[in-house]
């Protein structure tokens, strides 16, 4: 008569004993101790001791205990070598079968075959090694029991049971990012530059509000300056006014004309807004060939390539006019005078002012409406007032780099914010321009570490640590912990 009972026991990696329901035949009499499972050199090593002291086994019976590693979720599994525990008579039958090699062959080669000496202390030291696979990092170990009591019985399959991990959870490193507190800006001097493309009658320099579209242009000037003058968050200090002329006529004539027109604009601002002329720096730069070239290059004018060639290759500015007039029997030049030169004639005015200091709460509003009034230090403090994983946190540091694109501290802090948000490649790309700045090395190391490029991470951590960067020293230790549990590449 054949009897087959299959049970499963959970192996938790703490000191435990089996506690199963009453119908379990033998597992409640076996104790598991010293359980260990480790990933070492890409091999999964499993160790445990099976204490048989309480086991009373019938002489004809055989227990097959098979450790099974199963991915949590039952997607993959692997059976380890079993342990065979026999009663006295069954042990002799197994030994005879093994000698004859035609009976009692096992599905897997047992790790050990032992005879139970009832009533005597007995421990089976179990160990097994299999290649480590990535799914084993989130797997469990179960012990399948199959009991047979006659020579013809085949080993039964155990039932799987979701149990505790066989390995500790993956180590999650805590890398320290570098944030640099910017210096306080004692006086927040700012300036904004605007352009007024006023129209002047031929050879005239006086401003006529009613001429062509000057009304709209001056209305815009009035609005800009009024807003600045009335803004309580800043104090206007002075104006810089620069006049530019289109390149028809001589260089000397155009320079004098541009100066007079710039003076006219300064007079307009002085009277309109009661600004003393000694607060205005006025300059006339004359004809602006750079602007002319820019306007032509962006146009669809006939002879464009030839116009650009003349501008680039005829060194004498006055001689350029003569060459340009020859194109297409003068029609091209007339088009330039009519459609493109008016865009070159302009007055640029720069308003300088001092912005007041802002508290963090005030700055949260200003950064949305007029962020250039804030210093880099104020932006930093605003950013740090938000959780590191928040949208607002990253936005603040992004704004800082837009306003201070060449400031290394802004780049380093913004890269740190990128890393906080998981944008590691964006952080690396951002810091490429300052790759030789030692203050960026720790953050570069963190970005590479989080991307799994441990070699590059170590390189930057070592460079930073060599310059006494304590964060890099701590990050190196974190990296080593991660490397110890990672499979070899």
DSSP secondary structure of 446-473: HHHHHTT-HHHHHHHHHHHHTTT-HHHH
pLDDT at 281: 97
pLDDT band at 302 (very low <50, low <70, confident <90, very high): very high
Residue 183 domain-assigned? Answer: no
**3-state DSSP assignment of residue 480:** helix
475 plus 386 within the same structural domain: yes
pLDDT in tens, 46-89: 888 899 999 999 898 888 888 888 887 777 889 999 999 999 99
- The yes-or-no verdict on residue 310 having pLDDT over 80 is yes
Write down which residue in 320, 353, 386 finishes a domain. 353
Q: Is residue 426 part of a domain?
A: yes
Tell me, yes or no, whether 345 and 202 share the same domain: yes
CATH label of the domain that carries residue 251? 3.30.1330.60
Residues 248 and 394 in one domain: no
Q: What is the pLDDT of residue 6?
A: 33
In a domain, 361, yes or no: yes
| Residue 278 burial (C-beta neighbours within 10 Å; 0-12, 13-18, 19+) | exposed
Number of domains in the chain: 3
Q: Is residue 173 part of a domain?
A: no
**Pair (109, 254) in one structural domain:** no
Same-domain check for residues 111 and 255:
no
Residue where a domain terminates, one of 88, 116, 148? 148
- Indicate if the pLDDT at residue 351 is higher than 90: yes
Q: Which residues pair with 48 in a beta bridge?
A: 126
DSSP state of 326: T
Same domain, 331 and 464: no
pLDDT of residue 47: 87
> What stretches of 82-208 adopt beta strand conformation (E)?
83-86, 112-115, 123-131, 139-148, 188-196
Q: In the prediction, which pLDDT does 152 show?
A: 54
Q: How many CB atoms lie within 10 A of CB 481?
A: 13
Is the residue at 159 inside a domain?
A: no
Amino acid 1: pLDDT: 38
Q: Is residue 424 part of a domain?
A: yes
- Name the 3-class secondary structure at 410: helix
Indicate the range of 36-40, 431-435, 465-469 predicted with least confidence.
36-40
* 330 or 97, greater pLDDT: 330
Query: What pLDDT, on the 0 to 100 scale, is given for residue 105?
Result: 64
Q: Tally the C-alpha atoms within 13 A of residue 179's C-alpha that lie toward its C-beta.
A: 19
- CA-based nearest residue to 350, from 243, 261, 209: 243
d(CA 281, CA 288): 19
Whole-number average pLDDT of the chain? 87
CATH code for position 397: 1.25.40.10
pLDDT for res 364 = 97
Cα–chain-centroid distance for residue 123? 53
**Percent of the chain predicted with pLDDT > 70:** 89
For residue range 269-285, what is the model confidence (pLDDT) as tens digits? 999 999 999 999 999 99
Considering the domain architecture, whether residues 195 and 338 belong to the same structural domain is answered as: yes
Pick the closest to residue 285 from 209, 332, 348, 327 (CA basis): 348
Q: Summarize pLDDT for 156-212 with one digit per residue, the tens.
A: 444 333 335 666 666 789 999 999 999 999 999 999 999 999 988 878 899 999 988
Last residue of a domain, one of 120, 148, 176: 148
Flag whether 177 is in a domain.
Answer: no
Same-domain check for residues 204 and 337: yes
337 and 257, same structural domain? Answer: yes
Name the pLDDT band for 121 (thresholds 50, 70, 90).
very high
pLDDT at 398 over 60: yes
For residue 4, the model assigns a pLDDT of: 38
Q: Are residues 275 and 395 in the same domain?
A: no
Rounded CA separation 341/291 (Å): 9
The model carries a pTM of: 0.65
The answer to whether the CB of 448 falls within 8 A of the CB of 472 is no
Percentage of the chain modeled with pLDDT above 90: 66
Tell me which residue range forms the domain holding 376: 357-485
Residue 427 domain-assigned (yes or no): yes
C-alpha atoms less than 13 angstroms from C-alpha of 93 in its C-beta half-sphere:
20
* 374, HSE (Cβ side, Cα atoms, 13 Å): 31
Q: Are residues 227 and 249 in the same domain?
A: yes
Q: How many angstroms separate the CA atoms of 266 and 158, rounded?
A: 95
Token match 């009591």: residue? 149
| Domain match, 287 and 380 both | no
């Amino acid at each position: 008569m054949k009897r087959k009972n299959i049970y499963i026991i959970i192996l938790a990696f703490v000191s435990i004993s089996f506690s199963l329901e009453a119908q379990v035949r033998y597992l409640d009499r076996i104790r598991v101790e010293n359980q260990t499972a480790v990933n070492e050199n890409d091999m999964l090593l499993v160790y445990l001791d099976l204490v048989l002291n309480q086991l009373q086994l019938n002489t004809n019976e055989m227990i097959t205990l098979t450790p099974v590693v199963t991915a949590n979720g039952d997607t993959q599994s692997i059976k380890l070598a079993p342990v065979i525990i026999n009663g006295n008579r069954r042990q002799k039958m197994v030994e005879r079968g093994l000698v004859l090699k035609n009976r009692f062959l096992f599905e897997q080669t047992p790790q050990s075959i032992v005879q139970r000496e009832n009533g005597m202390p007995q421990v089976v030291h179990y160990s097994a090694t299999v290649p480590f696979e990535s799914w084993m990092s989130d797997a469990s170990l179960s012990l399948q029991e199959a009991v047979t009591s006659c020579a013809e019985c085949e080993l039964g399959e155990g039932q799987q049971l979701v149990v505790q991990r066989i390995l500790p959870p993956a180590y999650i490193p805590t890398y320290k990012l570098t944030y640099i507190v910017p210096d306080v800006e004692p006086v927040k001097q700012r300036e904004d530059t605007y352009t007024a493309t006023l129209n002047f009658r031929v050879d005239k320099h006086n401003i006529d509000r009613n001429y062509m579209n000057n009304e709209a242009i001056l209305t815009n000037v009035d609005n800009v300056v009024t807003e600045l003058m009335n803004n309580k968050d800043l104090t206007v200090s002075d104006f810089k006014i620069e006049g530019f002329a289109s390149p028809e006529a001589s260089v000397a004539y155009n320079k004098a004309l541009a100066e007079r027109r710039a003076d006219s604009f300064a007079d307009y601002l002085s009277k309109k807004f009661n600004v003393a002329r000694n607060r205005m720096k006025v300059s006339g730069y004359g004809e602006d060939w750079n602007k002319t070239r820019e306007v032509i290059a962006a146009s669809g004018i006939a002879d464009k390539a030839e116009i650009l060639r003349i501008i680039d290759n005829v060194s004498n500015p006055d001689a350029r006019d003569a060459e340009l007039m020859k194109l297409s029997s003068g029609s091209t030049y007339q088009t330039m005078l009519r459609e493109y030169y008016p865009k070159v004639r302009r007055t640029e005015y720069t308003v300088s002012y001092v912005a007041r200091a802002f508290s963090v709460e005030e700055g949260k509003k200003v950064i949305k409406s007029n962020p250039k009034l804030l210093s880099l230090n104020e932006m930093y403090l605003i950013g740090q007032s938000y959780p590191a994983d928040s949208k607002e946190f990253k936005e603040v540091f992004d704004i800082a780099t837009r306003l201070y694109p060449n400031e290394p501290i802004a780049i380093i802090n913004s890269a740190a914010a990128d890393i906080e948000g998981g944008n590691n490649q964006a952080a690396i790309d951002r810091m490429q321009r300052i790759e030789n700045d030692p203050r960026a090395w720790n953050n570069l190391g963190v970005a590479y570490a989080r991307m799994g490029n441990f070699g590059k991470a170590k390189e930057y951590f070592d460079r930073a640590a060599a310059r006494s960067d304590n964060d890099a020293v701590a990050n190196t230790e974190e990296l080593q912990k991660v490397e110890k549990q990672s499979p070899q590449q």
